[in-house]
Amino acid sequence: MFIVLEVLIVLGLIALAVSYLMRGRRDAVRQELTAQRVEAYMQTIRREGAGHPLNIMTDDELRDVLAATARNLRIQSERRWYLLVAATALGFFTAIMIGTQDGSRGFAIALVVVGLVVYGLNEYAGRRMRQPLEARGIDPERLKVE
């Protein structure tokens, strides 16, 4: 039993190391895709004409604004992901503690409450992330790179 656990830990550490080493390549691909998204969005803004609020900017200004927006959007998405993972882990351990006192019924109820809270956090953080961009006339979905 302990041998299997040790093998799993070693394999997990190897996977983390490989993931860390491949990080630079993944970031380069993501930057390239973001640049393509920015260029495509710039063409869309120019095609829409005078009706779009960002159309008054020069190409360089618009490229800088959209690239910075895409970068900030990615950073906020990562922060949201970390928040949700932490909230889920905390909620799960809380549900385990409740389950030890109230049994499986208490555990199930606690998991449902945790699920609702995490869903609410996700929706709130997502809307809070998109609102300032939409107020400026920027569509955040056009700049997302997944």
For residue 36, the SS3 value is helix
**One-letter amino acid for residue 57 of the chain:** M
Domain that holds residue 97: 2-142
**Averages of pLDDT over each 10 residues, the chain, 146 residues:** 80 85 80 89 82 80 89 90 93 91 90 95 92 86 80
CA 77: distance to chain centroid?
A: 3
3-state secondary structure 45-110: HHHHHHHCHHHHCCHHHHHHHHHHHHHHHHHHHHHHHHHHHHHHHHHHHHHHHHHHHHHHHHHHHH
User: For the chain, how many structural domains are there in total?
Assistant: 1
